[in-house]
């Protein structure tokens, strides 16, 4: 049985993604929980990506056949975690699924968009909704909920904005790139080929940045297919 490690979007909780386990009963779905939110709320968050990745690779074995699935900010964390495991000669993912994330050289210090992390709360909410879609009314109306949402979101956006891609060999792991049809032109997914050896497929799924919220079935079909191929390859020694 393959493992699926899920890396959530900026400010997000893996709880949303762990619910997918009910639809992926032949896979083990694991949420990569970051400090400063949910069950790790009492822990100080990271403000840079490198120590965060060092922490993940030190605490998690990532043993056995696995797929890394990262969405948006989580896709960047998944990519850098896979790079770190490869550099260290550790077992890493047999397949990466990177969803709704531009290539790393245009993130952070190479970004094309204005920074958001330092904006006042109301301006940050407006900018986030303009760029990635609406938040619930409760986030606007409940100050306590707003803080629970904005604190980790602001932290993760700060990590993104401080990120500096370090050039190196292209990652030798098969990768599927995903995005929503409404964001395809903005993301420039073709630029990922500068950083990855094996982009096996680029898929645009119906919807916007959170394309899976309206219908998660297309994304879960991709996850099942990639994970099952890993197990088949491990058993037979040849990809299907």
Walk along the chain (240 residues) and give the pLDDT tens digit of each residue.
Answer: 899 999 999 999 899 999 999 999 999 999 999 988 888 888 889 999 999 999 999 999 999 999 999 999 999 999 999 999 999 999 999 999 999 999 999 998 767 677 899 999 999 999 999 988 888 888 889 999 999 889 999 999 999 999 999 999 999 999 999 999 999 998 999 999 999 999 999 999 999 999 999 999 999 999 999 999 987 765 555 444
Domain of 129 in residue numbering reads as 3-236
Instruction: Please give the C-alpha separations between residue 3 and each of 85, 163, 213, in angstroms, as whole numbers.
Output: 16, 28, 22
The number of folded domains in the chain is 1
Q: CA-CA distance, 80 to 29, in Å (whole number)?
A: 20
pTM above 0.85, yes or no: yes
* Residue 209, domain CATH: 3.40.50.1820
């Amino acid at each position: 049985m393959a493992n699926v490690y899920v890396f959530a979007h900026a400010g997000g909780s893996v709880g949303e993604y762990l619910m997918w386990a009910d639809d992926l009963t032949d896979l083990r779905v694991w949420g990569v929980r970051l400090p400063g939110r949910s069950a790790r709320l009492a822990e100080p968050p990271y403000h840079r990506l490198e120590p965060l990745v060092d922490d993940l690779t030190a605490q998690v074995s990532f043993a056995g056949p696995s797929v890394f699935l990262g969405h948006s900010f989580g896709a960047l964390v998944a990519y850098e975690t896979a790079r770190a495991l490869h550099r260290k000669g550790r077992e890493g993912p047999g397949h990466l699924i990177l969803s709704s994330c531009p290539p790393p050289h245009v993130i952070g210090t190479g970004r094309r968009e204005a920074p958001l992390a330092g904006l006042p709360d109301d301006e940050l909410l407006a900018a986030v909704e303009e760029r990635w879609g609406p938040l619930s009314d409760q986030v606007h109306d409940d100050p306590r909920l707003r803080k629970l949402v904005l604190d980790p979101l602001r932290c993760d956006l700060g990590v993104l904005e401080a990120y500096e891609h370090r050039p190196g060999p292209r990652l030798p792991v098969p990768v599927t790139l995903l995005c929503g049809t409404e964001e395809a032109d903005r993301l420039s997914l073709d630029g990922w080929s500068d950083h990855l050896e094996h982009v096996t497929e680029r898929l645009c799924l119906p919807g916007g940045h959170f394309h899976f919220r309206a219908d998660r079935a297309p994304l879960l079909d991709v996850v099942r297919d990639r994970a099952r191929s890993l197990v088949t390859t491990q058993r037979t020694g040849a990809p299907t």
